[in-house]
């Protein structure tokens, strides 16, 4: 039995509309970029669900979501009030893992931390977060059938919301 942690959040009607609109726009802007998705879901669905998860996470941590729609080489979805950058990952599977493609971890647009949200529009659950340097350890590399990813189970994540500098300092030790 997989132990799961979580803080559920249901998007408002306005947030749902934003997730759909900006998810579709992001998808349209990425049609001419290489398809590197790790899922069998459609590209448009991935963008909509990802945007919904980002909006939900941002509401939980009182941060602003990134509503930019152009092609992005990195994965910074928001910046916390404490200044750390976050890439929000989403999966529809409630017991899902935090998956990070190795190509998303290098370069100037790499985030400082990753957060996992599970669920689908309109309801998501925050499952936890981890520092990028922790995620990017070779011990987490695994192939779940669609290429190598850093793969962390929910039990490997920090389950408190990253809301304060004090909490981030303790979790960094």
From the list 104, 140, 25, the residue with the least C-alpha distance to 71 is 25
The pLDDT tens digits for 121-132 are 999 999 999 999
Q: Cα-flanking dihedrals φ and ψ of residue 126, to 5°?
A: -75, 125
- Please give the structure tokens belonging to residue 160: 């408190």
Q: How confident is the model at residue 166 (pLDDT cuts 50, 70, 90)?
A: low
Q: For residue 1, is pLDDT > 70? A: no
What are the domain boundaries of the chain? 7-172
The C-alpha angle with vertex 126 and arms to 154 and 33, in degrees rounded to 5, equals 90
The pLDDT tens digits for 5-49 are 899 999 999 999 999 999 998 877 755 555 545 556 667 899 899
Separation between Cα atoms, residue 90 and residue 118, nearest integer Å: 5
Q: Which residues pair with 126 in a beta bridge?
A: 7, 117
pLDDT, the chain, mean? 85
131 in Cβ contact with 111 (< 8 Å):
no
Instruction: Point out the least confidently predicted range of 6-10, 82-86, 106-110, 159-163.
Output: 106-110
The pLDDT tens digits for 145-160 are 878 999 999 999 999 8
Q: How confident is the model at residue 73 (pLDDT cuts 50, 70, 90)?
A: low
Mapping DSSP to helix (H, G, I), strand (E, B) and coil, where does residue 1 land?
A: coil
Mean pLDDT of 92-101: 94
- Please give the structure tokens belonging to residue 39: 């899922």
pTM for the model stands at 0.87
Chain-centre distance for alpha carbon 156: 15
38 in Cβ contact with 93 (< 8 Å):
no
């Amino acid at each position: 039995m997989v132990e799961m942690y979580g803080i559920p959040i249901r998007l408002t009607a306005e947030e749902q509309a934003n997730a759909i609109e900006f998810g579709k726009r992001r998808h349209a802007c990425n049609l001419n970029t290489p398809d590197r998705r790790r899922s069998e879901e459609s590209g448009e669905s991935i963008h909509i669900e990802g945007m919904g998860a980002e909006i939900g996470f941002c509401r939980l941590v009182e941060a602003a979501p990134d509503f930019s729609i152009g092609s992005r080489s990195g994965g910074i979805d928001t910046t916390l009030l404490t200044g750390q950058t976050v890439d929000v990952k989403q999966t529809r599977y409630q017991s899902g893992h935090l998956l990070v493609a190795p190509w998303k971890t290098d370069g100037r647009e790499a985030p400082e931390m990753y957060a996992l949200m599970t669920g689908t529009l309109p309801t998501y659950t925050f499952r936890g977060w981890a520092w990028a340097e922790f995620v990017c350890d070779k011990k987490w590399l695994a192939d779940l059938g669609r290429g190598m990813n850093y793969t962390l189970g929910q039990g490997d994540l920090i389950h408190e919301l990253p809301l304060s500098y004090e909490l981030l300092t303790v979790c960094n030790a």
